[in-house]
Homo-oligomer: A and B are copies of this chain.
Amino acid sequence: MNLKKILVASSNPKKVREIEEILRPLGIEVVLPPEKVEVEETGTTFLENAYLKVKAYFERFGIPALADDSGLVVEAIAPLPGVYSARFHALEEFGREEPVPDADSANNRKLLRVLKGRGDRSAKFVSVVVLYSDEGGLFAEGEVRGRIAQAPRGDKGFGYDPLFIPEGYEKTFAEMEPQEKHKISHRGRALRKLYNLLRDCAKG
C-alpha cells in the first residue's frame, strides 16, 4: 500500500489528534478531509459502518482513508446501544434519529433509566478501525470491559465516558487524563493493533 499519507475520515478533532499521535512513528502524514462527506451509517456492525465511511472518503479524495466506528455494548441490553450509541436516546424515545441538544447527556440519562433496577451493569466499549484504499483494506478491533456507574462522573472525554468504569479502576473514563484513557481504551487498543499491522504485515 502506498501509505505516505492517510486521511482521517472524521470531523472530530480529538479523534484525529489521537490517531496522528499513534501513527507518527511510522512516518505517515495524517491529513484531514478538505470537506466533510455525508455518509449514512446504515451498517449493523462497527466494521460495516467504519467501512462505509472510509470507502466514501477514499472515493471522494483518492487518499487512503482511516475511520473508526465505536460504541458501548451493555450486557443487560446487548447488543445495544452498540452501533446506535450516538443515537441511543433519540432512537429509544422517538424511534428515529432526531437531532437533540447535548446528545451525550441525553444518551447517558437514557442509559441510566434503562438500567434502573437491573443488577447486571457490565459493559464494554468496542472500536473497529479500518484503513482503506483501492489496493485493499486493513482493520483492527479493540475493546475494554468495565461497568456502568450509578451516575455520571467527570468532564473529560466524550460520549458515555462519564458512565464507564473500566475493569480494575474505580474512576470513569471521563475522570481520566487522555493519555491514561488511551492506554487502555478500545480505540487506543484498536489503533495500536493497526499500527502493528502496518509495521509488521506479512513479515510473519
Contacts and interface: CB of A to CB of B under 8 A. Distances in A.
Interface in A1-53: 1-4, 26, 28, 43-45, 47-48, 51
Interface residues of A, number: 30
Given A140-B136, A202-B26, A197 B1 contact: yes
A88 interface: no
The dominant DSSP class at the A interface is mixed
A193 B137 CA distance: 10
Interface-centre pick from A2, A141, A201 (highest chain B CB count, 10 A): A201
A200 interface: yes
Given A199-B202, A204-B1, A204-B4, A137 B135 contact: no
A13 to B, nearest CB: 25
